[in-house]
Amino acid sequence: MKKKVDIKNILIQNNTYLIFLALFIVCAVISDSFLTVMNIRNIALQQAGPICVVLGMLFVILTGGIDLSVGSLMALGASSTAWLIVNQNMHFILAMIIALIIGLLCGTFTGILVAYANFQGFVASLSMMTIARGLALVITNGSPIKMESGTLNSLVNKDYGYPILIIILVVIIALVLVQKFTAYGRIVIALGSNIKAVELAGIRVKKYLVSVYTLSGVLAVLGGIFIAARASTGSGTISEGQELDAIAGCVIGGASLAGGKGEVFKAVIGALVLALISNIMNLMAVPAYPQDIIKGFIIIVAVLLQIVTDKADKTV
């Protein structure tokens, strides 16, 4: 006897992909320019930075935490990299490494506040958000730092095969493997599901809590470097509000803000849903301010859909 196919369960389990597919089709129908090679390439290059941030945010959210500092860390990553390249005549690869170390230190500091000083993630990351933004503005002296061609923008140069896309692909694959096939990935999810049970199992919970904020800090800085590479400019004012987009991308991707639920690849799709919304509005020449209003309502609908399907999933 053949097993009955549960269509409802299939739809619930794949709703993130269905939202993306439906939106992709709508965009293709609305605009003839949407499916052009140039536009798809631009979306990919533009989203490398935001996807980095979403992935870092996901691991924090999986533990039941939140990281509001990611937008400011993106600005710090962009501005510090540009400053090292322009003012210190440093090779862009070395400048990137130093910037990533800065992100690692900032993220670790936030994690220590959460794990060892018993700060709420909201408060600890809010403090780091202010500190990082201030540092970015001090480094740039409030003005963008312009980089010469052939330095950081090599990351988005087609002659080199768009290294930025290769890097983000490697990051995605690595984190998918970490989440699905390592003890670390399982423990991070368990922290969000039942932290007391993890502690009783003898696992050093604080170490893992620090690590997710460290990861978020590094990926946020990497995202800022990607944005600076595309613009050939490091600015202390970029990515304001990016933390909200990162949270929205995670939730659209099916992550639970309560922790314990979320997948790397679905979070990437969630980020791409936001990218499609912005892209189609740009192609339709929708003014910037109305874009924020429209985008906000669409995010609400997408998140509500996730909430409804999440409840349905529990009843299946």
Instruction: Flag whether pLDDT at 151 surpasses 50.
Output: yes
Q: Which two tokens stand for residue 132?
A: 């990082």
User: Facing residues of 233 across strands?
Assistant: 146
Q: Mind listing the pLDDT tens digit for each residue in 265-280?
A: 999 999 999 999 999 9
**Over the chain, what is the mean pLDDT?**
92
Instruction: Please determine, for residue 215, whether its predicted confidence score (pLDDT) is greater than 80.
Output: yes
Q: Is the pLDDT of residue 45 over 70?
A: yes
Residue 265 and residue 176 in contact, taking contact as beta carbons nearer than 8 Å: yes
pLDDT computed for residue 1 by the predictor: 47
Please, where are the H alpha helices in 182-287? 183-193, 195-200, 205-231, 242-252, 264-283
pLDDT of 209 over the 80 cut:
yes
Confidence of residue 12 (pLDDT cuts 50, 70, 90): confident
- Counting beta carbons within 10 angstroms of the beta carbon of residue 282, is it exposed (0 to 12), middle (13 to 18) or buried (19 or more)? middle
Per-residue tokens: 286: 């929708």
Per-residue pLDDT, averaged over 198-221, amounts to 97
Q: Is the pLDDT of residue 5 over 80?
A: no
Residue 6 clears pLDDT 80, i.e. is over it? no
- SS3 label, residue 234: strand
Judged against a pLDDT cut of 80, whether residue 152 lies above it is answered with yes
Write down the pLDDT at residue 316. Answer: 57
Secondary structure E strands in the chain: 145-146, 233-234
Lowest-pLDDT range of 161-165, 196-200, 219-223: 161-165
pLDDT (tens digit, 9 = 90+) per residue, 106-119? Answer: 999 999 999 999 99
- 103 phi/psi in degrees, rounded to 5: -60, -40
